[in-house]
A and B are shown apart, each in its own frame.
Chain A
Amino acid sequence: MSFTADEMMAVAASRRLTSSSVCFVGIGLPSLAANLARRTHAPGCVLVYESGTIGAKPTLLPLSIGDGELAETADSVVSVPEMFSYWLQGGRIGVGFLGAAQIDPQGNLNSTVIGNYETPKVRLPGGGGAPEIATSVRDVFVMLRQSPRTFVEKLDFKTTRGDRVRVVVTDLGILEPRDGELTLTSVHPGTTVEQASRATGWGLAVADDVTETEAPTDAELEALRSLETRGGE
């Protein structure tokens, strides 16, 4: 089956989760990846949404982190202060998915402003849960489409620390930290190392053992597409 870049990203990220993963998910690609993992190889994976729903099991992809279905299917629904204090900062959550507007070679993230803080060119939504996710979970997974505007040598603003970033899944490949710097370790089918380098705003390090990402299987794609099919919408 043929597949889109977004589908490749969701599949590549979902493969990093296991049945014992407890992961903090946001809306969009992370939610797609985590729900796909639950439907395929990692049925025991626990999904935590920052709205306070712990162990949510949505049948369709939620459109917001606070969808009623998340609360209805959750093992437990807790208040926002409890979520961030007992569960996130309490160290109960192993994996945190993050996105951003910019990432630097150390995996630090900007989701605050493009340009100067006081007189920004673009005012972005801000940190939200990310700064504490990045300092509380064991492993941060970043999902981000790759371009020289996004993958920058120097961030306009450092919103979130990169020290726990273990993998960056892009539309072109997979980057992992090696000796403290994000390094291309895999390219997706149909993509070249050269393309990934051109889409990076710094001299991208390439692993000696760089591989090609295994293409999504039919089973993965079918599970993915059934998650996205919302009746009547």
Chain B
Amino acid sequence: MPIVALSEAVSNLVQPGDTVALEGFTHLIPNAAGHEVIRQGVRDLTLVRMTPDVIYDQMIGMGCARKLVFSWGGNPGVGSLHRLRDAVEHGWPAPLEIEEHTHAGMAAAYAAGAANLPFGAVRGYLGTDLPQHTRVATIECPFTGEELAAVPAMRPDVGIVHAQQADRDGNVQIWGIVGVQKETVLASNRSLVTVEEIVDELELRPGGIIIPAWVIDAVACVPGGARPSYAHGYYDRDNDFYVEWDAISRDRDTFASWMREHVLQAVAA
């Protein structure tokens, strides 16, 4: 499993039309990897993420996505994602197909994908309007007769996550809030992990999880790669930026010029 430059990892792993999951639940959001996908102009993606936030707002606004699979799409603690809303409400810059789930449904779908099972089962969805508008089915438990919602397994073509550390062989350690990163890597056909630093030897942290190199396709060292989200033990969440994003993203032109200056013209890590 090679340690490569981010640009090389993205061009090798992410193809137009792919289903791509960039995960990280409030922590370690792989923003730098998302920016590289934008810079490489990869289109027609089905983007998967439990909590599409600023990075998916940017990818959608830049026209990378054909479809979004998600469970909660907002700017946490701030409000709406204006680029996501513009795509759904007005089809700008392109119409966006939506497949929405609940958090438990997405988590069960990733876990089923990692386990190579066809579906996950949850108790939500039933009795709501969600089943009419998304991919779930009602099943009956063969043992108890209880009705449950079956959510199809999530099997992305590419899973991308950010972690604190990798060793020189590409074994990865994540600690703090570990989210759904391990499931994303294991459920995906190909995977990319960006890390804050490469260390000679991983020293196990309390609550840390190790993802072994042999289930990862590429590791790229991208210090600060989670900004404006945070990396536990490295840097804090840039709360001000999340507030500023509301104004930047509200207007199409302001958004486009911000992206030109801060993403398109930025040099890849």
Interface set of A (CB-CB < 8 Å, partner B): 27-28, 50-53, 63-68, 70-71, 77-81, 83-85, 88-89, 112, 117, 119-132, 134-136, 157-161, 233
For B84, list chain A residues within 8 Å (CB).
Answer: 123
Known A-B contacts A50-B103, A127-B130; A64 and B76 likewise in contact (beta carbons under 8 Å): yes
Query: Chain B contacts of A85 at CB under 8 A?
Result: 104, 107-108, 111
With both chains docked as a complex, state the minimum distance between the C-beta of B176 and any C-beta of chain A, in angstroms.
5
Residue of B nearest to A230 (CB): B239
Please name all residues of chain B whose beta carbon is closer than 8 Å to the beta carbon of A160 when the two chains form the complex. Answer: 128
Minimum CB–CB distance for B22 against chain A, Å: 15
Contact B237 A130 (CB under 8 A): no
Interface residues on B, range: 35 or more
Which of B5-13, B177-185, B196-204, B247-255 lines the interface with chain A?
A: B177-185
Q: Which of A70, A79, A126 contacts B178 (CB 8 A)?
A: A79
Shortest distance between the CB of B197 and any CB in chain A (Å)? 18
- Residue of B at shortest CB range from A27? B77
B-chain residues with CB within 8 Å of residue A130 when the two chains form the complex: 102
CB-defined A-B contacts under 8 Å, sample of 19: A51-B25, A53-B177, A64-B26, A65-B76, A66-B76, A67-B237, A71-B176, A83-B107, A84-B107, A112-B129, A117-B129, A126-B70, A127-B103, A127-B130, A131-B128, A136-B123, A158-B127, A159-B128, A159-B130
Q: B85 on the interface (CB 8 Å rule)?
A: yes
The docked-state distance in angstroms from the alpha carbon of A128 to that of B232 is 24
Closest chain-B Cβ to A228's Cβ sits at a distance in Å of 14
Write out, one digit per residue, whether chain B residues 73-107 have a CB within 8 A of any chain A CB (1) or not (0): 11011001000110011000000000011111101
Bound-state Cα–Cα, A65 to B74, Å: 13
Contact across chains for A84 and B123 when beta carbons are under 8 A apart: no
What is the CA–CA distance of A136 and B133 in the complex, to the nearest angstrom? Answer: 22
Provide the bound-state CA to CA distance between A57 and B232, in Å: 17
Most chain A CB atoms below 10 A, which of B74, B77, B232: B77
Judge whether B110 is part of the interface by a CB distance below 8 angstroms: yes
Chain A residue contacts of B123, Cβ below 8 A: 89, 132, 135-136
B76 contacts A27, CB within 8 Å? yes
State whether the Cβ of B122 lies closer than 8 Å to any Cβ in chain A. Answer: yes
- Chain B residues, CB < 8 A from A136: 123
Asked if B195 is an interface residue, CB under 8 A from chain A, the answer is no
A52-B108 in contact given A89-B122, A128-B72, A159-B130 (Cβ < 8 Å): no
Neighbouring A residues of B26 by C-beta, 8 Å: 51, 64-67
Interfacial chain A residues near B103, Cβ < 8 Å: 50, 80, 84, 127-129, 132
Complex CA–CA separation, A88 to B239 (angstroms): 28
Contact assessment for A132 and B124 in the assembled complex, using a CB-CB cutoff below 8 Å: yes
**Per-residue interface assignment for chain B, residues 160 to 179, with 1 indicating a CB less than 8 Å from any chain A CB and 0 otherwise:** 00000000000000001111
Contacts of B27 in A (CB 8 A): 51, 66, 68, 71
Chain A residues with Cβ below 8 Å from B80 are 123, 125
Question: How far is B177's CA from A83's CA once the two chains are assembled, in angstroms?
Answer: 11
- Interface residue? B236 (CB, 8 A): yes
Q: Is the CB of B239 within 8 A of A127?
A: no
Q: Which residues of A are found within 8 Å of B101, using beta-carbon distances?
A: 127
Are B130 and A79 in contact (CB-based, < 8 A)?
A: no
Which 6 A-B residue pairs are closest in the complex by CB-CB distance? A66-B26, A128-B72, A125-B74, A131-B124, A132-B104, A84-B104
Q: A112-B100, A132-B124, A159-B130 are in contact. Are A80 and B180 (CB under 8 A)?
A: yes
**Residue B125, interface by CB 8 Å:** yes
B101, closest chain A residue (CB): A127
Complex Cα distance, B124 from A160, in Å, reads 8
